[in-house]
Structure 1
Amino acid sequence: MNIFNRNTTKRHLKQFEIEIAELLSSEFPEFKKVIEMSELNGINFMEKPQGINLTRSYNPKVYGEIKRNHNTCFNLVGVSVFEKKTKKYVPIKLGYLHDALNIIEIPNPKQFHRIYDLNNTKVEKIEIKNIKLENPEKAIVLKILNEIDLEKLSSLDLENTFEIEIDGQLFFTIIDMEDGNYIAIDKERIIYRLNHDQNVRVKKIAENPIEFFKIYSDKKSELENIMNQ
């Protein structure tokens, strides 16, 4: 027995998530798309419930699209995997976050690749249960913007806000310019434009939200020149 291959690894799970995405490509074409846009960067074995947690990484431009177009969280049943010992297909429960495989609920998760044939799966009746997805960054940004009235807040993209780190500095997106660039705020309440196409990726555009709303009144076109400076 290969002592370096005792537990299930990222390699096994990459193989499995591709297998499932292919199997469900007609019902969920977004699964394959998200796999192509991201990278499986970690796995954790869970005890309650027993299973495997998968984590992914995205570059900032891609993550904006993920938050905008793949803002999902749901459990999926109806997929079965072939169990080597019993020669039978065993149903498993899968969890998806942002249309990416996030949770596999199974007994003996460390032996997943040994107990089951990960290349031998089938689909029966698919059912999904949507889970309300909370955005913890939204609460942070609302606290930063606590003196701004609701009308102005409604002009911002706060539902899909996320934290982004550039050169060791943290920002929270507040307007998605829909081209991989953003207007963002930091915890000091300073407003910046983030443009990955410019030599200077981060540039301060307002000392505080009140000053920012003097140049912005709910039209992204008002920010185009600033984004390219």
Structure 2
Amino acid sequence: MFRLFNRKKSKRPVQDWELMLMYKTIEKLPGEFQPLKEQIESGLFTSSLVGYSTSDPDYVAFSFSDQIRDFERKRERGFEITNIKVRDICGNKIFMYTIYVSDAVIAGYAIKGFDKHVIDIMSADTDTFIRKFYDDNNADYENLKKLIDEEALKLIKPENVYQVNLSDRVFYHIEDLEDGDFIGIERHGQIYKITHDPFEIIPLDQSLTTFLSK
């Protein structure tokens, strides 16, 4: 579930504290979430992508090793685990913490308002956590239905659909590719491969159904 191409982007090695905070938080959640710990133990996460969200400046996305094939389940509904509270190491500040899961894999996290604080990795308060599924009330997906045929629609997960503004143009994000690139469609129906390094918007001369069926 990447929200891409914010102006200030950086890629860095995944930090130990990020993984430990996530691991210790998941430990406090109900049993249905415990399998997510295996992803952290496996060394799945290789990089943290900061500033790639157009809708949430606090969102940090993960890049993955080839082990993602061992965990990814494309047909599973994506969700976020939210309303979790964490504290800084001094206990003076409380931040809201969210973990994002897509295709059964931890996609990233957000710590609301976090900036140059040291988080206490043992501090997660999950007593009032909420699981929200991405495909609930997705207005962008409803709008996309008007642009594509039923065959293509069957190949698209509603949770993957959201608007992205690039170069004064509006695209619907359809599917993530490698390294943060993605497939998008404009409102007139043309589909594109959109890359970020280098930044390019490349028209595709095949149908969306053909591309997604590969």
| The structure with more helix, counted as a fraction of residues | 1
TM-score of the pair, normalised by structure 2: 0.48
Structure of greater Rg: 1
